[in-house]
Amino acid sequence: MTSPTRTPDTAVSPATTGPADLDARPQVRPAAEGWEQQRTSEGRPLLQFASPRVKQPPQHLADQTLEERQERLKELGLPAFRAKQLSTHYFQHWTTDPERMSDLPKAGREELVAAMFPPLLTEVRRLRTDDGNTIKFLWRLFDGALVESVLMRYPGRITLCVSSQAGCGMNCPFCATGQAGLTRNMSTAEIVDQVVAANRVIAAGELGGAGHAQQNSAERVTNIVFMGMGEPLANYKRVMAAVHRFVDPSPEGLGMSARNITVSTVGLVPAIRKLAEEELPVTFALSLHAPDDELRDELIPVNNRWKVDEAIDAAYDYFRKTGRRVSIEYALIKDMNDHAWRAALLAKKLNQRGRGWVHVNPIPLNPTPGSIWTSSEPEVQDEFVETLRAAGIPTTLRDTRGKEIDGACGQLAAAE
């Protein structure tokens, strides 16, 4: 435990919510710094659940089920079996290049490909770190909106962090994405195309430094996390269709395992309950970041709608319905949410529901330099983890991949 040597400044007030004997460190309160948090007429942080009605991206093969693709081809006067051929090119060979589709008749091929695979993502920037084992992509969508995805190689798996919305309407004061509000929902194909584009990069041997000179040609994205820009459960229909494209067997989809797909949410309780009813056992993650409503109301504005206990109840019910252990995300923010009494309160709330249904993933905050948004000291991180573990909660401190390349969601698009 660190000693309370910091002199309190204006942003710091003594802890009011926690028992003083457990932790005497100061309590920093959330506040937007260097930007204005949008507010309602009652002065609450604005929440945008609905996407602004703007022009939608063109229909793409990945927006459609196999049946819908067949319908579309019939409309174009073509035999339905072309749908499988086109799907194989896209979902197995990750190509939209008509030159490589020699199984399609030459006449009309370019037009067909243009109709089924309109370009959706234009690469604006690519940043690498960790010896090339982490690549961050900045994409421009058809209407100029910018989104990011991050590709990470780990021993035994390759994870892609995808965006589900351009911007985000959840207005969390520590998250770079929320600062500009919600531009629009991404389409299913825009979400899926991030994965296909990443698979192309991997197949070209571009992920991993010298240590991976011997590329395995079968390598591809094995894990997908909806932890890029956006609130996936606020774009429910399109995100679920994208999950179908990920798990549907090839050539209808990518044939991935649902358990390797993680849907992360600020806690939209009705949508969590709906997700639990789908026959898709994806991994579920709740971005909790605080176990007490007093702090979480400020840290995660949607907490004003659904409280900590309601969100944890929904997560617990997700486990009961699906049998899938859920994750609690907890960004450790110096002197704000990292007090030992909060770790103890979190453990208590999780244990109250049951045992073995949850694990906690604390992650040091990706800091904004010169602000109150700073990651906890290493010894405080350890204390937080140990407090949870001592209470019987499996806890893994996550690494902060890509910190040097503005790895936190939205930082790159915001800088553009």
Using CB under 6 A, list all residues that contact ligand SAH: 170, 174-175, 226-227, 231, 264-266, 287, 329, 331, 363, 365-366, 408-409
Q: How far is the CB of 86 from ligand SAH (least distance, A)?
A: 32
Active site residue 161: no
Residue in 148, 190, 231, 383 annotated catalytic: 148
- Alpha helices (H) along 106-187: 109-116
Active site residue 409: yes
> Considering only CA atoms, which of 46, 51, 47 is closest in space to residue 239?
51
Q: CA angle 311-162-166, nearest 5°?
A: 85
Q: How many CA atoms lie within 13 A of 221 on its CB side?
A: 34
> Considering only CA atoms, which of 305, 372, 358, 353 is closest in space to residue 330?
358
Choice between 86 and 225, CB closer to ligand SAH? 225
Choice between 96 and 265, CB closer to ligand SAH? 265
Choice between 182 and 365, CB closer to ligand SAH? 365
Q: How far is the CB of 175 from ligand SAH (least distance, A)?
A: 4
Q: How far is the CB of 381 from ligand SAH (least distance, A)?
A: 13
Q: How far is the CB of 232 from ligand SAH (least distance, A)?
A: 6
Choice between 360 and 408, CB closer to ligand SAH? 408
Q: CA angle 371-372-376, nearest 5°?
A: 115
Residue in 161, 168, 175, 409 annotated catalytic: 409
Choice between 86 and 151, CB closer to ligand SAH? 151
Task: Mention every residue, 6+ apart, whose C-beta is less than 8 A from residue 98.
Answer: 104, 109, 110, 112, 113
- Cβ(176)–Cβ(414) under 8 Å? yes
Q: How far is the CB of 241 from ligand SAH (least distance, A)?
A: 18
220-229 in b/e burial notation, b at 16+ Cβ within 10 A? bbebbbbbbb
> Could you tell me the two tokens for 280?
């898709």
What H or E segment, with its residue span, contains residue 386?
Answer: helix 378-390
Which residues are identified as catalytic?
148, 409
